[in-house]
Amino acid sequence: MRAMLLDAPRTPLRAADVPTPRPAPGQLLLRVHACAVCRTDLHVVDGELPPAKSPVIPGHQIVGSVVEVGGDGGSAGATATTGSSLAMAGAGSGPTRKRWKVGDRVGVPWLGSTCGTCRFCAGGRENLCDEPRFTGYQLDGGFAEFCAADARFCFSIPDGYGDLEAAPLLCAGLIGYRSLVMAGDARRLGLYGFGAAAHILLQVARHQGRRVFAFTRAGDDAGQAFARSLGAEWAGASDVRPPEELDAAIVLAPVGALVPAALRSVAKGGVVVCGGIHMSEIPAFPYELLWGERVLRSVANLTRRDAEDFLALAPRIPVRTQVTPFALEAANEALDSLRRGKHQGAAVLVVDAELARWTQRPASASPRLCVKVSHSPHAAGSNFKLQKVKFQISNFARV
C-alpha cells in the first residue's frame, strides 16, 4: 500500500510502498478514504513529542470503510463487537455495544487503545490511562491507504457528512468538545487560536447560546473575519484584551504566553482550559492573575463517551467543517500549511479520491492540485503511477 512514513523527528515524511497490515483479532482493517491533518501530527513530526515508533505512519483523524474484520478471514458477513467484556472495562467511559461489518464507514481518533484495567480506566477516565496507545504515534495511522484499528475505539460517522467533512470531527472536534465541557457553563467564552478545533468549537458554543470572543495572531485579518462569519461576537489579536471580561477561555494554540493573557481576560471565578497535548513554556506570571478563584486546567486526550456524545451532537447543530484537501503524497505540504497558518479550517488528505465522499463546498473554495493514483491496492511493494489532475472543489456532488 502507499503510505507516508516519518523516519525521524524533524525530517520530511517519505512516500513509500509498505505491506498492507493484517488485522489481529478485535481489529478492523480499514481502507482509508480521508485523514485530517492535526496540530498533534506536527508535534510528532517536529519532535515536540518524544519519538515512540520509528518509522511511523502519522494521522489520527481517519475516515474509512471496513474491508476485513480480524480473526474471521474477512468474510462479508463477519462482525466485530465493540462492547465485549474487555472493551467495557471502565464502563463509565466505554462505548455502547456496536457490531462492525465489512462495508461500514467508521472513524478512528487519537486514542487508539487503553489497558482497561488501571484505576483511571476502571474509574471512567480512560483518557488518563497509564498505558494508552495513540493512533499515528505508537500505532500506525491514516496517512496511508489502509489502517488496522482496535474495533473498540472506532466510531460510526454520522450520516450527512462527507468523508473529508467528517475527518476533522475526530480530533479537532472531539478535543474542542471536551475542552468546552471543562469550561463549564461559561456564557462569555474566549477562544485563543483560531484553527481547526476553534472553527468547530465556535459553532457548538453558539448553538448552546454562548457569546464567543475569538483571538488570533496579530494581523490575521482573514482569520478574524472567518471567526466573525461563524458567529463570533468579537475577534481580535491575542495580545489585545477583549471588550469585556470572559467567564472562561480555551487556549487551543500551543503557545505558552497565551496562558497569562487568557488569565488576564477572565473574570473572578473564571476558568482557563489548555486544550493541546503540547505547549511552549508558560512564562512566569504574578499570582494576582490566578487569585480570585480562577482555575487553570488542561485537557488530556478524550474518552469514547466524548466521541459518542459529540458525534451525536454535531449533526443536530449542524456543525459544518471547512476543509482544504491535499493528496496523500502532498502530506508534507499540508503539514507546512498548518505550521505556517496558511489555511482556514482543517487540512485533509484525500487518500482515495474515488472512494472519498464529497459534500458541497463553499463557492469561495479555491482549486487544489490533487493526485490520482493508479495502482493495485493489495499488492505490497508494487510500483504506483502518479498522474496530476486539477479539480475544482467548489461544486462536488455527494457520491
Domain membership of residue 26 (yes or no) is: yes
Domain that residue 264 falls in: 173-298
- Number of neighbours of residue 290 by Cβ within 10 angstroms: 14
Q: What percent of the chain has pLDDT over 90?
A: 79
- How confident is the model over 380-398, as pLDDT tens digits? 333 333 323 333 333 333 3
Last residue of a domain, one of 298, 314, 337: 298
Looking at residue 370, what is its pLDDT? 37
Q: Quick check: 296 pLDDT over 90? A: yes
Rounded Cα gap, residues 200 and 195, in angstroms: 9
Q: Quick check: 192 pLDDT over 50? A: yes
**Half-sphere exposure at residue 334, Cβ-oriented, CA atoms within 13 angstroms:** 30
Q: Are residues 13 and 158 in the same domain?
A: yes
123: CB partners within 8 A, 6+ apart: 90, 92
Q: Which of 33-42, 198-207, 355-364 has the lowest mean pLDDT?
A: 355-364
Looking at residue 25, what is its pLDDT? 95
Q: Are residues 144 and 241 in the same domain?
A: no
Domain CATH for 146: 3.90.180.10
Q: Quick check: 88 pLDDT over 50? A: no
Looking at residue 366, what is its pLDDT? 34
- How confident is the model over 300-353, as pLDDT tens digits? 999 999 999 999 999 999 999 999 999 999 999 999 999 998 889 999 999 987
Last residue of a domain, one of 298, 331, 365: 298
Q: Are residues 271 and 338 in the same domain?
A: no
Average pLDDT value for residue range 110-120: 97
Residue 128 — very low, low, confident or very high, per pLDDT cuts 50/70/90? very high
Domain membership of residue 333 (yes or no) is: yes
Looking at residue 353, what is its pLDDT? 77
Q: Are residues 184 and 146 in the same domain?
A: no
Q: Are residues 162 and 184 in the same domain?
A: no
Domain CATH for 275: 3.40.50.720
- Total count of domains within the chain: 2
Q: Are residues 201 and 265 in the same domain?
A: yes
Q: Quick check: 26 pLDDT over 50? A: yes
Looking at residue 87, what is its pLDDT? 31
Q: Quick check: 79 pLDDT over 60? A: no
> What average pLDDT does the structure give for the chain?
86
Q: Are residues 158 and 271 in the same domain?
A: no
Q: Are residues 361 and 240 in the same domain?
A: no
Residue 359 — very low, low, confident or very high, per pLDDT cuts 50/70/90? low
Residue 171 — very low, low, confident or very high, per pLDDT cuts 50/70/90? very high
Q: Are residues 8 and 61 in the same domain?
A: yes
Q: Are residues 326 and 287 in the same domain?
A: no
Q: Are residues 246 and 258 in the same domain?
A: yes
Domain membership of residue 119 (yes or no) is: yes
Looking at residue 130, what is its pLDDT? 96
φ/ψ (deg, to 5) at 62: -100, 130
User: Buried b / exposed e across 31-55, counting CB within 10 Å, b at 16+?
Assistant: bbbbbbbbbbbbbbbeebbeeeeee
Looking at residue 341, what is its pLDDT? 87
Average pLDDT value for residue range 74-79: 46
Domain membership of residue 396 (yes or no) is: no
Domain membership of residue 310 (yes or no) is: no
Task: Identify the residue whose cell numbers are 485530517.
Answer: 36
Domain membership of residue 353 (yes or no) is: yes
Q: Quick check: 72 pLDDT over 80? A: no
Query: Own/partner pairs for 255-258, CB < 8 Å, 24+ apart?
Result: 255/193, 255/279, 255/280, 256/280, 256/281, 256/282, 256/283, 257/282, 257/283, 258/192, 258/193, 258/215
Domain membership of residue 354 (yes or no) is: yes
- How confident is the model over 52-71, as pLDDT tens digits? 999 999 999 999 999 999 98
Looking at residue 205, what is its pLDDT? 98
Last residue of a domain, one of 264, 298, 332: 298
Asked if omega into 318 is within 30° of 0 (cis), the reply is yes
Q: Are residues 123 and 94 in the same domain?
A: yes
Q: How is residue 238 written as a grid cell?
A: 491575542
Domain membership of residue 376 (yes or no) is: yes
Looking at residue 378, what is its pLDDT? 31
Q: Quick check: 253 pLDDT over 50? A: yes
